[in-house]
Structure 1
Amino acid sequence: MIIDVANHPDRVKELMIFSAIVAGGALIGWLIEQIVLSKLLHLTSRTKWKGDDLIIQSLKGVVLPLFILLAIHIGFNYVTLNPGLLDVLHKTVKVGAILVFTIYLARIVTRWIAGETKEDKSVPSSIILNSTRITIIAVGFLIALQSIGISITPLLTALGVGGLAVALALQPTLSNFFSGLHILATKKVRVGDFIRLDTGIEGYVMDISWRSTLVRQLANNMVIIPNAKLAEAIVINTHLPDKDIPVMVEVGVAYDSDLDLVEKVAIETAQEILKTVEGGVKSFDPAVRFHTFGESSINFTVILRVHEYSQQFLVKHAFVKLLHKRFREKGIEIPFPIRTIITKTP
């Protein structure tokens, strides 16, 4: 807006009034964000319902632009403008307000999804959050166009025809996208799960995006797997149906050992490990199962249990050390491999 001060001295006054109204709106919006919202968050934190926290938190960064747009809308009443220009400016402000509200709504919905998944003890994937955010913003943009008299029917038609061409050109990308949605819908692989593929790749699922799944190996390497490949692979999910997994430790003792004593010492040692070592399931009753007469030992399996896959290594480590110590104290021998050779003389 260009103002000729020499020919229109009243315009200076109008501009000052307009600027004061906008500045006042910005100041009120800033004060509400900095003071009022903080007070409201403190009050809502005391309530049992989490929705009020979500609504207030999402207002951060929204109140200020809304009050600025409202002030601009009010300020137009104090300036003299060409009716056509004024109509365009009012429509611009209207579109801006709709888009700000759309962003606010997208924040609430995505944060609600993230909160619901946390309540379910899972982690939201970026493909769900981003798809939801983009969908809400796209709908808000179409509503904004419709509100100012722009027909969206031709636009939707053009998008339909263009979308078909894009779909043909991006078949691999769309295949990965829909494979990712299928993986999330079936809930057989979730963010945070520890998985092992038939290719030997194993690790924690960090994220399922629109194109690929990110897996962090125990060595802290990141493996990027296309969603289509993951959907077709044979996958072992150690977190389903439960995170708890059994830990098998193979042991062998000499043939002249007292097996009742061996079993008692092994179980007592396992119980102590489960109660003292991080990751052990304290309520689990360990078991001993003898199974093989070996070449130099009677072999058995000690069964322990840990809360999740990666914790088994520390539990095994501590158990082997302590069991070796206890067997030495009780005089129980863990024999070296022995082979008897009988030779015949001619």
Structure 2
Amino acid sequence: MRVFHGVTNALIIFLCFLLAGIFLRKTLLPRLMTCASRTPWIIDKAIVSKLRRWVVPWFILFGFISGLEYGDVQVPHYKFMNKTCLIVLSVSIMFFLAEVVGEFIKAYVRKADVNIPQVSILEHFTKWLVIVLGVLIILYSLGVPIGPILTGFGIGGLAVALALQDTLSNFFSGLHLLMSKQIRPGDYIRMDSGEEGYVVDITWRNTVIRELPNNYVIVPNAKLSKATIKNYYLPHKEMAVLVQVGVSYDSDLEKVEKVTIEVAKEVMEDVVGGVPSFEPLIRYHTFSDFSINFTVVLRAQEVVDQHLIKHEFVKRLHKRYKREGIEIPYPVRKVYLKEEKWDREIVDGSSS
């Protein structure tokens, strides 16, 4: 009879904890998430979002441990079961903290720049760092000496570092790229070897670049850190768009400048990717063989917008020049032959 009462009490305690966990997950946590979304902090949102996954398993473990402790149940190997539950609870808390740190990093990156996707290398590095520290703390709490383990890690780490020089070089190069903020996921870059596109992700080994034709270029981090790179998003996304134009020598240059500026303003205001507030300008610079050349300066919101801007500008400028009677000359070269008067005696001598 006593055993029956003990089992009943343990079962009641376990069910109470289970219902409490379900209640918290279904009722209290959504309200906490609503409150957290109204605050300017990032860490509270990360904690509440990850609690939804772990709160019920934790209460199940609490209920099991409390049922064994206060339910007056005589269970063989009680201490072993109790310690096992505590280890499982500690491991779950360790993984919870690792997920919170990873979520915090992703949320911080998104807040720093809306267009930046997740950064795998930073997220995974911090997660594994928290997991390793958690394992060491759990072993220490169980009475396992961690001094020899740390010594073994040091010796093993030296051997691994020698064996994985290229991998570690890529890893630390990726960290350097992130910390220096010279290249960020979401940036449009061009390497000195010719590859260009959007940086999709920086992993522990390589950097993924998506080209405009929607192909991926995988570049080792060590190679990327040594390359000469043009970042089209730094210091700003907006960039100047230069278009080279030439007109005939018979053209009225004042009229050419006025008409060209009018067309450029239309393009800035009408074409997607243009900067309407920008005032276009032209600069004459060369007397070439068949034309007077000048540069038209436009402005695009980002690098990929320049193609449509140039496309529309060339079409509209050609149409407007044709209507205004402004000639865009063909590449021609005029050759003048000078007639020379030959000496009659020389001519007669050569004819004889």
TM-score w.r.t. the length of structure 1 is 0.90
Work out which of the two has the higher radius of gyration on C-alpha atoms and give 1 or 2: 2
Is 2:184 aligned against 1:184?
no
- 1:141 and 2:135 matched: yes
Q: Matched residues in 1 for 2:316 and 2:153: separation? A: 68
Q: Equivalent residue for 1:96? A: 88
Matched, 1:65 2:65: no
Which residue identity is paired with 2:35?
L
1:76 to 65, 68, 76: 68
Matched, 1:239 2:207: no
| Partners of 2:265 and 2:280 within 8 A in 1 | yes
Q: Name the SS for the 2:53 alignment partner.
A: coil
Distance 1:213 1:44 in 2: 34
Alpha-carbon deviation of 1:343? 4.2
Q: Partners in 1 of 2:128 and 2:60 — Cα distance?
A: 25
Aligned to 1:340: 334
Letter in 1 for 2:224: L
Task: Give 1:43 deviation, angstroms.
Answer: 3.0
Q: Which residue of 1 aligns with 2:271?
A: 277
What residue number does 1:150 align with? 144
Q: How does 1:235-274 map to 2 (within 5 A)?
A: 235-274=229-268
Provide, for residues 269-317 of structure 1, a one-character-per-residue CA deviation record: whole Å limited to 9, x for no partner.
1122112222112222211011111222111110111121111111111
**In the aligned structure 2, how far is the partner of 1:48 from the partner of 1:125?**
22
Q: String of CA shifts for 1:133-171, please: whole Å, max 9, x gaps.
A: 110111112111212222222222222222222111111
The correspondence for 2:38, drawn from 36, 42, 46, is: 46
Cα distance change of structure 1 residues 62 and 88 upon mapping to structure 2, 3 Å threshold: same
Say whether residues 1:224 and 2:207 are aligned partners.
no
| Alignment partners' CA distance in 2, 1:345 and 1:20 | 121
Q: Name the amino acid aligned to 2:258.
A: K
In 2, distance between residues paired with 1:142 and 1:22? 30
Give yes or no for contact 1:176–1:228 (8 Å, CA) kept in 2.
yes
Distance 1:307 1:148 in 2: 59
Q: Give aligned pairs, total.
A: 336
CA contact (8 A) 1:22 1:71 kept: yes
Contact 1:91 1:148 in 2 (8 A): no
- Per-residue Cα deviation, 1:12-50 (whole angstroms, up to 9, x for no partner): 665555445434433332332122211222233334444
Q: Which amino acid aligns with 1:80?
A: Q
Query: Deviation string for 1:202-226 (max 9, x for gaps)?
Result: 1111111100000111111100001
Give SS of 1:332's match: coil
| CA deviation map 1:152-195 (0-9, x unaligned) | 22222222222222111111111111111111122111111111
Inter-partner Cα distance in structure 2 for 1:219 and 1:45 = 38
Distance 2:43 2:150 in 1: 34
Deviation at 1:104, TM superposition (A): 2.4
- SS, match of residue 295 in structure 2: strand
Deviation at 1:197, TM superposition (A): 0.9
Structure 2 counterpart of 1:289:
283
CA offsets, 1:244-287, max 9 Å, x none?
11111111111111111111111121122112222112222211
CA distance 1:106–1:269, shift in 2 (3 Å):
same
Asked if structure 1 preserves the Cα contact closer than 8 Å seen for 2:271 and 2:309, the reply is yes
**Mapped contact 1:95–1:145 kept (Cα < 8 A):** no
Give, as a single letter, the amino acid of the residue that structure 2 aligns with 1:30: I
> CA deviation digits over 1:309-346, x for unaligned, max 9?
11111111111111112212212121222221334678
Q: What amino acid maps onto 1:303 in structure 2?
A: V
* Within-5 A mapping of 1:322-333: 322-333=316-327
Tell whether the 8 Å contact from 2:42 to 2:104 is kept in structure 1 after alignment: no
Unpaired runs of at least 5, structure 1: 1-8
- Work out whether residues 245 and 307 of structure 1, in 8 Å CA contact, stay in contact via their aligned partners in 2: yes
Whether 1:313 aligns to 2:307 is: yes
Instruction: Indicate the residue corresponding to 1:214 in structure 2.
Output: 208
SS of 1:156 mapped into structure 2: helix
Alignment check: 8 A CA contact 1:55 1:108 kept: yes
C-alpha RMSD over aligned residues:
2.0
Cα distance change on mapping 1:52 and 1:182 into 2, 3 Å: closer
Task: Report Cα offsets for 1:117-145 as digits up to 9, x if no partner.
Answer: 22221444211111011101111121112
